[in-house]
Chains A and B, each alone.
Chain A
Amino acid sequence: MVKISVKKLSELSHIDLTEDQENQLQAQLESILNFVDEIQKLDLTSGSELTDPYNVLRDDEVHEFEDVASLKSQFPEKDGDFMKITRVIKGS
C-alpha cells in the first residue's frame, strides 16, 4: 500500500483543501497510486533510461509581439502599463 500525506502535497502545490476534501482525496489518491504502483514489479533495467534523442532549442532572439494592448487587457490587476503583482519578499 502506498501511503501519502495529502496535506503536504496540497501545501506544495498550493491547493487549499477542507478537511472533508482532504479525507476524500486521501482515499482517492491512494487508490490511484496503488493502481500505477503495479509498475514497481517490472524489471526495466535493459538500458531503458531517460533518453531524449536530442533537444531542440530555438535561437534566443527577440520577437516583437504585435498586440501588446490585448495582452495587457488580460492582466488581473494593472498599474499604468505594468501588471500589478503582490509582494513576494518580505521587508519594509
Chain B
Amino acid sequence: MMENLTLKKIRSLLDERKISALELLDFYLKNIKEKNEELNVFLEVFEKDALEQAKLADQILEKGESAPLLGIPIAIKDNILIKGKTASAASKILQNYKAVYNATVVDKLTKQGAVFVGRTNMDEFAMGGSTENSAFGVTKNPHDTTRVSGGSSGGSAAAVAAEMVPASLGTDTGGSVRQPSSFCGVVGLKPTYGRVSRYGIIALGSSLDQVGPIAKTVEDVEILYDVIKGKDTNDQTTIDNKELDDTVKIIGVPKGILDSGVSEEVKNNFNKTITSLSDEGFNVVEVDLPHLKFALNAYYIIMPAEASANLARFDGMRYSVRAGNGEYKEIMSETRKLFGEEVKRRILIGTFVLSSGYVDAYYYKAVALRNKIKEEFNSAFENVDVILTPTAPETAFKIGEKSDPVTMYAADLFTVPANIAGSPALSVPSGISDSGLPFGVQIIAPHYGERKLFSLGKNIEKFR
C-alpha cells in the first residue's frame, strides 16, 4: 500500500485517515534501515525527532485539520540549516557544527507540517557532480550501486529514488539538483534566481545558488515549490511573487546542442522525446544561442571566484573547529587542511581569477560573457516559450570513472546555463536505457516561468 506514493496521494491517505503519519514514517524508516548502509544516502537520521513530529501530525489530523505537508517525511541536504542539528556540508571542517537557527526553507516546511527525517549526503560544499567529493563517502545510485547518484545533491535524489522519503530538498549552483535527479530517475527543480530564500544555506556561488525540491512527479515538485518560494527579508536577492502563465506552445532546441560530448543513447532518447512532443502538437523549433557553449567556461571562473570568497570565513576562528595553535596564520592554515581536494582546487582557482593582473582577463571577462548569454536567452524567449535540452550528456557514470577534474566538470554542460542566466529549469525523467539507467530531459523557462516548466513537465512524464 505504501510503495511508490506521491505527495498528492499521501495527502489524501492521511487526510482520510487511511494511514497515520506514524505508519507512513515507519515505512520510510524501515527502507532507510534496509538500504542506507549500502547506498550511503543519509549522513544522519533524526529518528527520535521525526517520530515526535509524526505523532504531533497525527494529533492534528485527528482533529480534522490539515496542511500541504502535514505528516509528510522530507529529507534535507546537509548544507541547509536545521536549528540544533549538525550541518556539515559533507566537510570535515564543519563536522561538529550545529546550526543555531533554521534556514527560511526549513521554517516554511515546518509551518506546513513536514516531518524532517534526516540530512543527506552531498559533495563537500556542493562542489561536484557525483558525491564522490563528500568527506563521508560516495552515495551509490539506487538503480546500479556501481554507479554514482550524481551531485552535488546526490543524497537527496537517491533518497527519493530508493523510497527512503517521498520528497527532499537540494541546492543547485550549476546543476546540483537537476543532474542527480536525472541520474536517479526523479524530478528536480532549480527555481528562478531569487525565487527561494537562501537564508540558512551554506553558500557556494552566491550569484548562482538556489534551493530546489526533488520528488517523484512534477506535481509533487510543484507542491514543494509553492511551499518554499517567496520573498524573504533575510535574503536580499529574493523577489516578489510575480509569475508567468503556464502556456507552452513553442519549444526551442538550441542549435548544435547534441554536437559534442553527448552519448549516443542520450541523443536517441532526447530525439525520441522531441518526436513525442511534436506528435502531441507542440511546435519544436531550433533556437540560436551562439555563446551557450561557453557557459561552462564562464561558470568555472565565476563559481570558484565566489566560492573562494565565501569559504574565506572558514579560518578556524568560528564554526566549532580550530586546528593548530599559535598565530592566526598558522591556525588558519592548519584548520583549512580539513578541506578536501576539490574544495582546495576551487579556492585556488578562485584566488587566481580574482588576483591582481588576472581579474580583468578572467573574472570580468566571464561576467561579460555571462551577460552575453543572458541576452541570448532573452532574445530566444521572444520566440519560444521554453528551451529543451538533455539534463546530462550521459547516464549515471561509474564510481571512480572521472578522476580528472576537467572531465568531471563537463558533466555540467547542459545544467550550468540556467544558473548563468538565472532561469528556472526542471529535470524530468524521459525513459530508461538498455542497461537500466534513467534518462532525463531539462526544460528551461524565462525568469518567473516555473508554471511553464510544470505544464510541459507533466506532458513529458506521461511518455515514460
Inter-chain CA distance A16–B300, complex, in Å, is 23
| Known A-B contacts A15-B339, A32-B406; A44 and B365 likewise in contact (beta carbons under 8 Å) | yes
Would you call B369 and A4 a contact (CB within 8 A)?
no
Q: In the complex, what's the smallest C-beta–C-beta distance from A3 to chain B, in angstroms?
A: 11
Would you call A32 and B405 a contact (CB within 8 A)?
yes
Inter-chain CA distance A32–B304, complex, in Å, is 11
Cβ proximity bits A1-24 to B, threshold 8 Å, 1 near / 0 not: 000101001101111110000000
For B, the interface residue count at a CB cutoff of 8 angstroms equals 60
Report the tally of A-B residue pairs with Cβ distances under 8 A: 138
On chain B, the residues within 8 Å of A33 by CB distance are 349, 352
Picked from B97, B344, B409, the residue with its CB within 8 Å of the CB of A35 is B409
Binds A, one of B279-287, B316-324, B379-387: B316-324
Would you call A76 and B371 a contact (CB within 8 A)?
no
| Known A-B contacts A9-B351, A32-B349, A88-B328; A51 and B371 likewise in contact (beta carbons under 8 Å) | yes
Would you call A13 and B375 a contact (CB within 8 A)?
no
On chain B, the residues within 8 Å of A50 by CB distance are 364, 367-368
Inter-chain CA distance A67–B361, complex, in Å, is 45
Which residues, 203 to 259 on B, are CB-close (under 8 Å) to A? Answer: 233, 236-237
Residue with the highest number of chain A CB atoms closer than 10 Å, among B291, B297, B312? B297
Would you call B372 and A46 a contact (CB within 8 A)?
yes
Inter-chain CA distance A67–B84, complex, in Å, is 11
Would you call B333 and A39 a contact (CB within 8 A)?
no
Picked from B321, B348, B366, the residue with its CB within 8 Å of the CB of A39 is B366
Inter-chain CA distance A12–B355, complex, in Å, is 9
Whether a CB of chain B sits under 8 angstroms from the CB of A49 is yes
On chain B, the residues within 8 Å of A25 by CB distance are 344-345, 348
Whether a CB of chain A sits under 8 angstroms from the CB of B441 is no
Q: In the complex, what's the smallest C-beta–C-beta distance from B385 to chain A, in angstroms?
A: 24
Whether a CB of chain B sits under 8 angstroms from the CB of A73 is yes
| Known A-B contacts A39-B297, A74-B98; A16 and B337 likewise in contact (beta carbons under 8 Å) | yes
Taking residues whose C-beta sits less than 8 angstroms from the other chain, chain A's interface range is: 35 or more
On chain B, the residues within 8 Å of A46 by CB distance are 372
Picked from B328, B334, B366, the residue with its CB within 8 Å of the CB of A16 is B334
Whether a CB of chain A sits under 8 angstroms from the CB of B315 is yes
Whether a CB of chain A sits under 8 angstroms from the CB of B331 is yes
Would you call A87 and B327 a contact (CB within 8 A)?
yes
Would you call A9 and B348 a contact (CB within 8 A)?
yes
Inter-chain CA distance A4–B352, complex, in Å, is 8
Q: In the complex, what's the smallest C-beta–C-beta distance from B294 to chain A, in angstroms?
A: 6
On chain A, the residues within 8 Å of B405 by CB distance are 28, 31-32
Which residues, 52 to 74 on A, are CB-close (under 8 Å) to B? Answer: 56-58, 65, 67, 70-71, 73-74
Would you call B365 and A40 a contact (CB within 8 A)?
yes
Picked from B327, B328, B371, the residue with its CB within 8 Å of the CB of A49 is B371
Would you call B329 and A14 a contact (CB within 8 A)?
yes
Would you call A36 and B327 a contact (CB within 8 A)?
no
Would you call B365 and A39 a contact (CB within 8 A)?
yes
The chain B residue with its CB closest to the CB of A28 is: B405
Cβ proximity bits B66-86 to A, threshold 8 Å, 1 near / 0 not: 000000000000000001100
Inter-chain CA distance A17–B327, complex, in Å, is 18
Inter-chain CA distance A12–B336, complex, in Å, is 13
Inter-chain CA distance A50–B405, complex, in Å, is 28
Would you call B345 and A29 a contact (CB within 8 A)?
yes
On chain B, the residues within 8 Å of A9 by CB distance are 348, 351-352, 355
| Known A-B contacts A31-B406, A36-B362; A75 and B349 likewise in contact (beta carbons under 8 Å) | no
User: Which B residues have a C-beta under 8 Å from some C-beta of A?
Assistant: 83-84, 97-98, 100-101, 233, 236-237, 291, 294, 297-298, 300-301, 308, 312, 315-322, 325-329, 331-334, 336-337, 339, 344-345, 347-349, 351-352, 355, 361-362, 364-369, 371-372, 375, 404-406, 409
User: Which A residues have a C-beta under 8 Å from some C-beta of B?
Assistant: 4, 6, 9-10, 12-17, 25, 28-29, 31-33, 35-40, 42, 44, 46, 48-51, 56-58, 65, 67, 70-71, 73-77, 83, 85-88
Closest 5 A-B residue pairs measured CB to CB? A76-B322, A48-B371, A44-B368, A16-B333, A56-B236
17 contacts between A and B (CB under 8 A): A9-B352, A10-B348, A15-B339, A16-B334, A28-B404, A31-B405, A32-B300, A33-B349, A39-B301, A39-B365, A44-B365, A48-B372, A56-B236, A67-B100, A70-B100, A76-B320, A86-B317
